Structure 1
């Protein structure tokens, strides 16, 4: 393969772009009586990612400052496709905006109804409406059985390529056996799961965030702490052993935390292996098989240090580009592409690893639906 040294020369898959899933958009897809609530909430004053009764955000308690990307929403598939194409991004994996906080909602039936409405909305209005826009089925952690049914319902929907596991304000960490119906359904459907966090202050893990006085401090830790906590729970309960074909990705936490947790867990495994006799290998064996999205990518003074960190968890084949478009801290593809990786590794991280992870071709088409497939 010839050397490629331009963004326009390679396939770029973006693991994390966000649609503006407002109450107005979701209301037509919502079950009664919850639809009446969304129609009412549509008229309630709200701030970005903070809508009372819909996307409660307990982190909005600090002074706001200008900076970053100043337009924070994308309204239509055509707009999303154009903006991604302007950055040479070929395929975008769609996450919600407001429903990043669905895990903090206390009512099981309401949370589950919201995820059903979102899934119907994302398939109807977004997935494949422009080439290369692919969706994720959202499950409510409050309702694992209902989440499994949603996965089964959309398993053969070509525009859907994975399952979104909300982590922001999550009370019971992913990995707990109560979530086994979700993992079993995802594995059976051949769809990977992607964990995604967002900044919020809640009285459970990582609970100490409420002690920080600045967004600088809160945002520095919340995503990586959330991913470490959920990964540890998955290791502790043997998720990668019990569901060996399930692909798992950790998003929006960067990657520098991965070598730390990997080495720390291997040390504990040597000393406390009797606690987890079902693990057939040290934790690092499984951690190296998980996948990781780059955003927000760390930017050490010496860029080679980041490459060394990736080498520690053998990330050449498991690290995937993500931008977090259009949020304030999004990463342009250049930020990762310009790191001093070899041309081969750049191709892998910017797109090839994601094509394999989602089992899609370079246009975003699921391989199970290629010509001649009988999947449908």
Structure 2
């Protein structure tokens, strides 16, 4: 995680080779998104507002959507002005070959009971992103926002835009009514496999709207506690995928875990492997150790990276989470806890650096090799 001094020091530094950033939050403009909605919802929104729960209302996460204070986004000109700023001040500045957008719309749409409204808003945000961002710069790739509260409608949306080559994954919030291994979600995974798209889980909406409390012990008081709880929920999803047998039903499915940290995965896998050996008779369909399912089916993004108090512990922990094949670099632009491509990780050997900063993501998302090797 960058400090202000680090950010200033790296102001003019770029990675020596281009990189793929796997977690970018692009701005959207409500008045433009409205034009993609059916008339009935446009009129409702103009009268009653968007009617979405707010995460920031419960847990203080900075102003301006949690953006870094040194980001001076244009206040006029809509998406065209925003795109120009984004290209110059982020993609060019940090030598981004490809950037994966994980948010043009709010995940809060996935926390409301009205699935039809959620489906319409998800479609509007997906079309907005394609028209205003993805089609304007070949470096920008998108994620399909779905109304996960209704898997049938979700599958319909995946099939609708999943053939667009610039849409490279399906995305949901970490907060959920049921763990993601539950068979309730199977129509979503069928559509992911049908369209050859990974299923991505991004931290957000834990304890918001229709979702249960962010911890097994109930609600928390402060944002720092809320951040700590994110890994617990992501760990629940990881275990659920494995022990509910999702990968036996969908052997080609890949799952991406975004912004929940990384190194906690190692002791979790150790424990899951140990428990599986003792309790495997309860889930006979789980044919391999959980760590093998993780290695084959999961990918994880780097931000926010945990730094051990002893530097010598870092590389062994990286090895324990299969960083050479399973870890993908992310900045979380433009948020306050942005990870600089040049400062966020300790010095790595050339091959490992290349795997984390480019190759792992290129393989997952089917992206070309660097233009300039």
Q: TM-score range by the shorter chain?
A: 0.7 to 0.9
| Corresponding position: 1:81 with 2:87 | yes
Aligned to 2:54: 57
Aligned to 1:153: 160
Aligned to 1:280: 287
Over 3 Å counting, the alpha-carbon distance change for 1:176 and 1:342 in structure 2 is same
Aligned to 1:303: 311
How far apart are residue 12 of structure 1 and its match?
A: 0.5
| Corresponding position: 1:252 with 2:259 | yes
**Partner SS for 1:335:** coil
**Partner SS for 1:334:** coil
How far apart are residue 131 of structure 1 and its match?
A: 2.8
The one of 124, 138, 145 equivalent to 2:145 is: 138
**Partner SS for 2:106:** helix
Q: How does 1:346-365 map to 2 (within 5 A)?
A: 346-362=353-369
Structure 2 CA distance for aligned equivalents of residues 156 and 98 of structure 1: 20
The count of residues paired between Structure 1 and Structure 2 equals 346
How far apart are residue 343 of structure 1 and its match?
A: 0.9
Aligned to 2:7: none
Structure 1 CA distance for aligned equivalents of residues 156 and 60 of structure 2: 42
**Partner SS for 1:162:** strand
The one of 333, 355, 361 equivalent to 2:341 is: 333
How far apart are residue 249 of structure 1 and its match?
A: 0.9
How far apart are residue 13 of structure 1 and its match?
A: 0.5
Over 3 Å counting, the alpha-carbon distance change for 1:151 and 1:97 in structure 2 is closer
Specify every segment of 5 or more residues in structure 1 that has no aligned partner in the other structure, as ranges: 1-5, 45-51, 365-376
Q: TM-score, normalised by structure 2?
A: 0.85
**Partner SS for 1:136:** strand
- CA deviations on 1:21-46 (whole Å, 9 max, x unpaired) are 343232111123222233346xx6xx
CA RMSD of aligned residues (A): 2.5
- CA deviations on 1:46-87 (whole Å, 9 max, x unpaired) are xxxxxx613x12452356778982249785332222222212
How far apart are residue 323 of structure 1 and its match?
A: 0.7
For the Cα contact (< 8 Å) 1:295–1:322, is it kept in 2?
yes
The one of 192, 195, 205 equivalent to 2:201 is: 195
- CA deviations on 1:156-202 (whole Å, 9 max, x unpaired) are 212111111222x3112212112111111111211112111126434
Aligned to 1:96: 103
Over 3 Å counting, the alpha-carbon distance change for 1:9 and 1:226 in structure 2 is same
**Partner SS for 1:207:** coil
For the Cα contact (< 8 Å) 1:139–1:150, is it kept in 2?
yes
Which is worse superposed, 245-254 or 148-157?
Answer: 148-157
The one of 44, 54, 64 equivalent to 1:37 is: 44
How far apart are residue 205 of structure 1 and its match?
A: 5.1
Structure 2 CA distance for aligned equivalents of residues 158 and 97 of structure 1: 17
The one of 186, 189, 199 equivalent to 2:192 is: 186
For the Cα contact (< 8 Å) 2:173–2:205, is it kept in 1?
no
Over 3 Å counting, the alpha-carbon distance change for 1:244 and 1:63 in structure 2 is closer
Aligned to 1:294: 302
Specify every segment of 5 or more residues in structure 2 that has no aligned partner in the other structure, as ranges: 1-12
Structure 2 CA distance for aligned equivalents of residues 179 and 306 of structure 1: 36
Over 3 Å counting, the alpha-carbon distance change for 1:62 and 1:162 in structure 2 is closer
Structure 2 CA distance for aligned equivalents of residues 98 and 110 of structure 1: 14
Q: TM-score, normalised by structure 1?
A: 0.84
For the Cα contact (< 8 Å) 2:15–2:342, is it kept in 1?
no
How far apart are residue 98 of structure 1 and its match?
A: 4.9
How far apart are residue 11 of structure 1 and its match?
A: 2.8
Structure 2 CA distance for aligned equivalents of residues 95 and 65 of structure 1: 19
Structure 2 CA distance for aligned equivalents of residues 65 and 100 of structure 1: 18
